[in-house]
Amino acid sequence: MHDLENRTAVITGAASGIGLALAQRAACEGMRLMLADIDEARLAAAAQALPLAAEAMYTMRVDVSREADIAALADAAFARFGAVHLLCNNAGVGLTRLAWEMSAADWEWVLGVNLWSVVHALRHFVPRMLQQAVESRIVNTASAAGLLSTPAMAAYNVSKHGVVTLSETLYAELKAQQAKVGVSLLCPAWVPTAIHTSERNRPERFGTAAPPSAASAACHARMGQAVKSGRLTADDMANAVFDAVAADRFYVIPHARIKQAVRLRMEDILEDRNPTPLPEKQ
């Protein structure tokens, strides 16, 4: 998909990190923006700094884990702009815990924000995008964690593996229909954003996570360090996404080095080997 000027982009998790970088790049392309986030104040501040006229941009407080919120976002986007050409299902949260230390509410929160959000978005956006005469695209932000199984991230891994297979399935279904709706799947490794402090935006209905054990706390500290020292930036992710949109590419894997670990995982499976431990830093 080329020529994005005056086309409409809907971006979730747009107040921070990769979502904000996607919004900035979309604004530079001259797109009209519907920006969504659970953090209303930060979203408003982020939107104000974008180089766009007020009528070309709309912000909305949305909890992507709630179907009613995603339905309202879709209604607002189509009502305001008439069409959606780029849908970025990007909002996401992480929680670092050993698998057996996570409560049901922890799992529900992480799966709700990372996976159910995409399920809801497909239901409420795709039928209307299919009705459009012009090309459009869905970009789902998964993760390297959707292709690998990093310790202390069980719920996050499950959610992102879910987003990977959901996106691959969607791609196959749309291709079979020769639809004008394309799909891209972003799978970053570590990127310096605020993901390490995801609990700042945990909705009340999921409660709060219990204090971590010493082992989980050590994993959390290591992850925090890995996120902070990520060499590719949120802007690099946005640029990779827009390159993929222009090139009609499905897999967007900006950290090329993770491909070796993905290959090893696949070889373990194909050769009936037990899983090879991942190196400390991906």
Query: What's the rounded Cα separation, in Å, for the pair 234 and 17?
Result: 6
> In this complex, which beta carbon is closest to ligand NAD, that of residue 38 or of residue 245?
38
219 near ligand NAD, rule: CB under 6 A: no
Asked if residue 71 lies in contact with residue 95, where contact means CB atoms within 8 angstroms, the answer is: no
212 near ligand NAD, rule: CB under 6 A: no
- The residue to which tokens 């037990």 are assigned: 274
Is residue 58 annotated as part of the catalytic site, yes or no?
A: no
> In this complex, which beta carbon is closest to ligand NAD, that of residue 24 or of residue 141?
141
Q: Hey, what are 271's tokens? A: 């050769």
106 near ligand NAD, rule: CB under 6 A: no
Q: How many CA atoms lie within 13 A of 155 on its CB side?
A: 25
Characterize the bridge pairing of strands 32-37 and 8-12: parallel
Which window, 85-93, 99-107, 127-135, 166-174, contacts ligand NAD (CB under 6 A)?
85-93
Q: Which residues contact 271 (CB under 8 A, 6 or more apart)?
A: none
Q: Does the CA dihedral 225-16-216-163 come out positive or negative?
A: negative
**58, 156, 171, 251: which one is catalytic?**
156
Which window, 49-57, 80-88, 185-193, 212-220, contacts ligand NAD (CB under 6 A)?
185-193
> In this complex, which beta carbon is closest to ligand NAD, that of residue 13 or of residue 182?
13
Contacts with ligand NAD: how many residues (CB under 6 A)? 31
* Main-chain dihedrals φ then ψ at residue 27, nearest 5 degrees: -65, -40
Contacting residues toward ligand NAD, per CB under 6 A: 12-13, 15-19, 37-39, 62-65, 90-93, 113, 141, 143, 188, 190-191, 193-195, 198, 201, 227, 230
- Residues with a catalytic annotation lie at 156
